[in-house]
């Protein structure tokens, strides 16, 4: 068995090495046909072609290609702003033609009847129509300048150039289309040499563990492991995960070779080429499936852990990965039926709402399902089963934490300071999500982007970048080997906060304890991923009713004396625990 494990580890390292090495193997050549296809708008494509020297030039590095691409986008925008923007001379002419009060009809004389002039006239009417009939005074020029500035800032770049969102999307799609080299030539081969080889190697390393002693879980020197106790190997792993998420969310154009590898899988499921989030979903699902097998072997003495692990494997594979892709093949909206607001923070964004509403009966059902899930499903299911029904049995974030993150669960900080930070931070994120969503819905129904002097689009951009990408992705998963596997669930997930509020005050679920049998071994606290000092409760024979508890049951599974039990009972006993005394569970660490 040792030989099989060693061979499996070698295969995994080889596959992972090829995966990393492929990052640097592509070459890139941009053509006019690629630009016309990816840009879509002929005028914009022509403007880009006129302002770049990249056409037909071969680049041997993604860094040099993407740098040149970004420079070409900026040059195109500057050219279009100069061409369609309102000049100082035109502003002076507008002022010269108007005396006493401003007449907006005079702008036609300034801009003329050319295509460019008509565009400027239409833009000025859109952004400066409020000036019509206004008395001209010493400050009037300031208003004209403001209109000209707004047209440049909000209209020309969108209509004639490339705003930051379209430029970001085009950097990825154009880079992928322009890619050449061994991966682009044989994506199926590299899919096998990387992912398949890694999967085979991982199973060869994991499965023999079933013979590594009798069922049951012990500490097994985890605090002496370089991987499991923030040693050099754990730090390297965390660094890679953090870098992967930074590239995934903020610089996906550099990952095109990796995306091309999974094109065959995407084509099989949805009929479309893969994007960077398909790559992420594929890796995410494979990680849960492979490490789920490890989880089942490790906790094979507990039926609860086996069924719970199978559940998260099923929901991630079927509901989060396969079904949404099949919906796309059927020309239906991409939809994850197990996800919900506020974790799915963009559920109420205008483009999402329009897509669902305009997709007929199925789209309306999806919208209704998403709303019913968090309005009705959460309080009902949490009342009967606690937040574990979602956080430990269904959620993809929880599924990854419980499988890929299981080796790091002992790193969760159990201190009082961490608990206090957790309470304030997670509820602050929930409030942020509610405020952001309220602003989004306000803008959707009123068609006004400003609420109480704040641009709602800016608020949702901040939330998406700092919470959706930075906190949930970069920190939430990248910090597994550094801070434990539930960093996002403990400190940031707004849905976990919502579920926890219901569980804390209106749920039949709790973990009961039998303090008389506790031997203070500390296994329960060591393995609690949510930072709960379970032993503190067990020694006192108190029920555990913390809102952060996800009901994973690992504390019960690792207890050698059967002190801890997951139960769904009447509320009487539950709330008696809150009245034990000044050091009761309502205020303890």
Please tell me the predicted confidence (pLDDT) of residue 437.
95
CA 387/CA 568 separation, integer angstroms: 12
pLDDT range class, residue 353, cuts 50, 70, 90: very high
Distance between CA atoms of residues 377 and 356, nearest Å:
20
Give percent above pLDDT 90 in the chain. 72
The predicted structure's pLDDT at residue 137: 83
Chain-centroid distance, C-alpha 524? 31
**Dihedral pair phi/psi, residue 349, rounded to 5°:** -65, 150
- The CB-based long-range contact list for 120-123 (8 Å cut-off, 24+ gap) reads 120/84, 120/86, 120/90, 123/84, 123/151, 123/155, 123/156
The rounded distance, in Å, linking the Cα atoms of 24 and 408 is 31
**Has residue 481 been placed in a domain?**
no
Split at pLDDT 50, 70, 90, the class of 579 is very low
- The residue among 159, 183, 212 that closes a domain is 159
In terms of Cα–Cα distance, which of 251, 250, 194, 261 is closest to 65?
251
The yes-or-no verdict on residue 1 having pLDDT over 80 is no
Q: What is the mean pLDDT of the chain?
A: 90
* Count of structural domains within the chain: 2
Task: Note whether 59 and 87 are within 8 A (CB).
Answer: no
Q: Is residue 242 part of a domain?
A: no
End-to-end CA gap in the chain = 44
Q: What residue spans of 447-522 are helical by DSSP H?
A: 456-462, 476-478, 480-483, 487-491, 494-505
Phi–psi pair at 410, nearest 5 degrees: -70, -10
In 3D space, the residue among 279, 230, 220 whose CA is nearest the CA of residue 254 turns out to be: 279
Q: Does residue 195 sit within a domain?
A: no
Instruction: Give 287's contacts (C-beta < 8 A, 6+ positions apart).
Output: 400, 403, 404
Q: What is the mean pLDDT of residues 533-541?
A: 91
In a domain, 454, yes or no: no
Q: What mean pLDDT do residues 284-313 have?
A: 95
In a domain, 119, yes or no: yes
For 411-433, what is the mean pLDDT?
94
Q: Per-residue confidence at 218, pLDDT binned at 50, 70, 90?
A: low
State mean pLDDT over 434-445.
93
Confidence band for 570, pLDDT divided at 50, 70 and 90: low
pLDDT band of 577, cuts 50, 70, 90: very low
The confidence band for 576, taking pLDDT boundaries of 50, 70 and 90, is very low
Q: Is the pLDDT of residue 238 over 90?
A: yes
- CA pair distance 68, 205, nearest whole angstrom: 44
Range in 116-130, 195-209, 442-456, 523-537 with the lowest mean pLDDT: 442-456
Q: Which long-range contacts (CB under 8 A, 24 or more apart) does 323-330 make?
A: 325/266, 325/269, 325/270, 325/278, 326/269, 326/270, 328/270, 328/271, 328/272, 329/269, 329/270, 329/271
Contact yes or no for 217/139 (Cβ under 8 A): no
User: Domain for residue 532, yes or no?
Assistant: yes
Per-residue confidence at 138, pLDDT binned at 50, 70, 90? Answer: confident
Indicate if the pLDDT at residue 252 is higher than 60. yes
Q: Is the pLDDT of residue 311 over 80?
A: yes
Binning pLDDT at 50, 70 and 90, where does residue 572 land?
Answer: low
Q: Given this model, what pLDDT does residue 284 score?
A: 96
Compute the average pLDDT of residues 294-313. 94
Identify which of 492, 403, 473 has the alpha carbon closest to the alpha carbon of residue 243.
473
Where is average pLDDT lowest: 142-151, 451-460, 530-539?
A: 451-460
User: Which of helix, strand or coil describes residue 544?
Assistant: strand
Position 6 pLDDT exceeds 70: yes
Residues 320 and 335: beta-carbon distance below 8 Å: no
Residue 402 CA to residue 50 CA, distance in Å, equals 52
Would you state the pLDDT for residue 223? 85
Q: Which of 92, 125, 159 is where one domain is finished?
A: 159
Examine residue 447 and state whether it is found in any structural domain, yes or no: no
List pLDDT tens digits, range 45-104. 999 999 999 999 999 999 999 999 999 999 999 999 999 999 999 988 988 888 888 898
User: Is the pLDDT reported for residue 322 higher than 90?
Assistant: yes
- SS3 of 225-279: the string is CCCCCCCHHHHHHHHHHHHHHHHHHHCHHHHHHHHHHCHHHHHHHCCCCCCHHHH
Distance set, CA 521 to CA 44, 91, 233 (Å): 68, 79, 28
% pLDDT > 70, the chain? 96
Q: Give the per-residue pLDDT at 584.
A: 35
Distance CA 87, CA 142 (A): 14
By CB neighbour count within 10 A (0-12 exposed, 13-18 middle, 19+ buried), where does 35 fall?
buried
What confidence score (pLDDT) does residue 165 get? Answer: 86
Could you tell me the residue range of the domain that residue 144 belongs to? 83-159
Task: Give the model's pLDDT for residue 573.
Answer: 47
At residue 350's C-alpha, the angle toward residues 347 and 356, to 5°, is: 65
> Mean pLDDT over residues 484-492, rounded?
94
pLDDT at 457: 84
Instruction: For the beta carbon of residue 93, count every other beta carbon within 10 angstroms.
Output: 16
How would you label 167-192 residue by residue, b for 16+ Cβ within 10 Å and e otherwise?
A: bbebbbbbbbbbbebebbeebeebbb
pLDDT bucket at 334, cuts 50 / 70 / 90: very high
Which of 100, 128, 159 finishes a domain? 159
d(CA 148, CA 127): 8
Nearest-10 crossing angle of helices 140-150, 115-128: 120
Indicate if the pLDDT at residue 578 is higher than 50: no
* Distance, CA of 446 to chain centre: 28
Q: Given this model, what pLDDT does residue 399 score?
A: 95
- Supply the CATH number for residue 562's domain: 3.30.70.20
Tell me how far apart the alpha carbons of residues 128 and 112 are, in angstroms, rounded to a whole number.
17
pLDDT given at position 354: 92
pLDDT digits (tens, 9 = 90+) for 371-401: 999 999 999 999 999 999 999 999 999 999 9
Residues in the chain: 589
Query: 3-state class of 486 per DSSP?
Result: coil
What's the pLDDT score for residue 561?
Answer: 87
pLDDT of the residue at 304 = 93
Q: For position 186, what pLDDT does the model report?
A: 95
Tell me, yes or no, whether 65 lies in a domain.
no
């Amino acid at each position: 068995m040792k030989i099989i494990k060693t061979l499996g580890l070698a295969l995994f390292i080889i596959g992972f090495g090829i995966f990393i090495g492929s990052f640097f193997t592509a070459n890139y050549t941009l053509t006019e046909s690629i630009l016309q296809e990816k840009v879509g708008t002929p005028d914009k494509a022509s403007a880009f072609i006129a302002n770049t020297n990249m056409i037909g030039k071969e680049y041997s590095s993604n860094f040099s290609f993407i740098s040149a691409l970004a420079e070409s986008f900026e040059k195109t925008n500057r050219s279009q702003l100069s061409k369609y923007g309102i000049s100082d001379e035109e502003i002076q002419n507008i002022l010269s033609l108007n005396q006493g009060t401003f007449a907006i009809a005079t702008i036609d004389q300034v801009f003329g009847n050319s295509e460019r002039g008509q565009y400027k006239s239409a833009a000025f009417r859109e952004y400066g129509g409020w000036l019509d009939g206004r008395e001209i005074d010493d400050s009037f020029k300031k208003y004209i300048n403001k209109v000209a500035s707004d047209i440049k800032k909000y209209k020309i770049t969108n209509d004639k150039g490339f705003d930051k969102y379209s430029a970001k999307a085009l950097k990825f799609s154009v880079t992928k289309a322009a890619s050449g080299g061994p991966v682009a030539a044989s994506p199926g081969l590299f899919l096998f040499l990387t992912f398949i080889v890694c999967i085979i190697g991982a199973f060869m390393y994991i499965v023999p563990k079933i013979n590594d002693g009798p069922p049951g879980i012990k500490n097994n020197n985890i605090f002496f492991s370089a991987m499991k106790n923030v040693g050099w190997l754990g730090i390297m792993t965390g660094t890679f995960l953090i870098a992967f998420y930074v590239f995934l969310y903020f610089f996906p154009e550099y990952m095109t070779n990796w995306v091309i590898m999974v094109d065959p899988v995407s084509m099989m499921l949805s009929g479309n080429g893969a994007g960077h989030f398909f790559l992420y979903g594929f890796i995410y699902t494979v990680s849960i499936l492979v490490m789920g097998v490890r989880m089942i072997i490790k906790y094979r003495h507990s039926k609860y852990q086996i069924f719970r692990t199978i559940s998260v494997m099923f929901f991630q594979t079927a509901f989060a990965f396969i079904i949404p892709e099949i919906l796309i093949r059927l020309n239906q909206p991409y939809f994850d039926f197990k996800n919900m607001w506020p974790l799915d923070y963009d559920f109420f964004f205008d483009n999402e709402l329009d897509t669902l509403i305009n997709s007929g009966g199925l789209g309306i059902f999806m919208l209704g399902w998403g709303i019913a899930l968090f309005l009705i499903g959460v309080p009902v299911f949490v009342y009967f089963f606690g937040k574990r029904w979602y956080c430990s049995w269904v959620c993809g974030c929880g599924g990854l934490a419980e499988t890929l993150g299981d080796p790091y669960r002992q790193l969760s900080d159990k201190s009082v300071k961490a608990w206090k930070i957790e309470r304030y931070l997670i509820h602050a994120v929930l409030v942020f999500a509610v405020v952001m969503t309220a602003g989004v819905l306000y803008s959707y129904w009123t068609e006004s982007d400003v609420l109480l002097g704040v641009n709602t689009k800016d608020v949702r951009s901040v939330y998406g970048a700092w919470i959706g990408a930075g906190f949930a992705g970069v920190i939430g998963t990248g910090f597994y080997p550094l801070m434990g596997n539930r960093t996002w669930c403990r400190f940031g997930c707004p849905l976990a906060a919502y579920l926890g509020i219901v569980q804390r005050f209106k749920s039949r679920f709790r973990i009961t304890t039998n303090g008389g049998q506790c031997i203070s071994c500390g296994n329960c606290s060591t393995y609690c991923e949510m930072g709960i000092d379970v032993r503190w409760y067990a020694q006192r024979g108190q029920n555990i009713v913390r809102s952060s508890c996800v009901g994973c049951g690992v504390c019960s599974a690792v207890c050698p004396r059967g002190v801890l039990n997951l139960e769904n009972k009447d509320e009487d006993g539950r709330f008696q625990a809150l009245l034990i005394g000044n050091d009761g569970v309502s205020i303890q660490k």
